[in-house]
């Protein structure tokens, strides 16, 4: 993401949402993407979010599956979807006990009318943990092949040691850069 988001190319600002359950690695990813510590914000009680700016790219993250993200609260945070060109959905591949919850939250995002025509990158994170589900296992479990209206990619990763990060972000940069050139 470095070259495209650094401002060297003539790109409009791009917004990416980094979503997933708590403990999946979203804040670790934010730390790898930004210049400095992720900034913490509270939109309303119980809805905490973080962001980092990297050149012309703004990365925004919050936890799914919390009381704050229940449907009745969506009007309070739906403006955060505005100008989103890409979604990074982070899955803790080592925590199979939460895969049903992951699938539920994943499909809420995919079916959300506020989020159409975006590039979708799924990071199968924590591949460094013994027994972690593979890319193919996760693809099958969440029915990723059923995503029809968005271009998508799944990338095995370990944010802890950086594995898979560059490959996934390069794909996302290529997909989102096509639609945002001035």
Binding residues for GTP: 125-128
Report the alpha-carbon distance of residue 74 to residue 78 in Å, rounded. Answer: 6
Known binding site: residues? 125-128
* 163, 129 Cβ separation under 8 angstroms: no
Residue 54: alpha-carbon gap to chain centroid: 15
Instruction: Please tell me whether residue 105 adopts helix, strand or coil conformation.
Output: helix
* 21, 98 Cβ separation under 8 angstroms: yes
Instruction: Please tell me whether residue 150 adopts helix, strand or coil conformation.
Output: coil
Q: Which residue has the tokens 């979807």?
A: 81
Pick the closest to residue 121 from 64, 60, 168 (CA basis). Answer: 168
What is the number of alpha carbons within 13 Å of residue 153 lying toward its C-beta? 19
């Amino acid at each position: 993401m470095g070259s495209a988001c650094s401002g060297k190319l003539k790109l409009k600002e791009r917004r990416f949402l980094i979503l997933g359950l708590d403990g999946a690695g979203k804040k670790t990813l934010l730390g790898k993407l930004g210049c400095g510590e992720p900034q913490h914000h509270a939109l309303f009680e119980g809805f905490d979010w973080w962001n980092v700016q990297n050149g012309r790219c703004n990365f925004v993250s919050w936890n799914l599956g919390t009381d704050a993200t229940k449907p009745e609260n969506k009007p309070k945070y739906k403006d955060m979807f505005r100008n989103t060109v890409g979604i990074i959905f982070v899955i803790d591949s080592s925590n199979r006990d939460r895969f049903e919850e992951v699938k539920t939250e994943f499909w809420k995002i995919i079916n959300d009318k506020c989020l159409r025509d975006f590039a979708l990158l799924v990071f199968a994170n924590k591949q460094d943990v013994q027994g972690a589900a593979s890319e193919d296992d996760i693809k099958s479990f969440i029915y990723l092949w059923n995503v029809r209206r968005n271009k998508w990619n799944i990338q095995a990763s370990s944010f802890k040691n950086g594995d898979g990060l560059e490959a996934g972000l390069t794909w996302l940069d290529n997909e989102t850069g096509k639609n945002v050139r001035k």
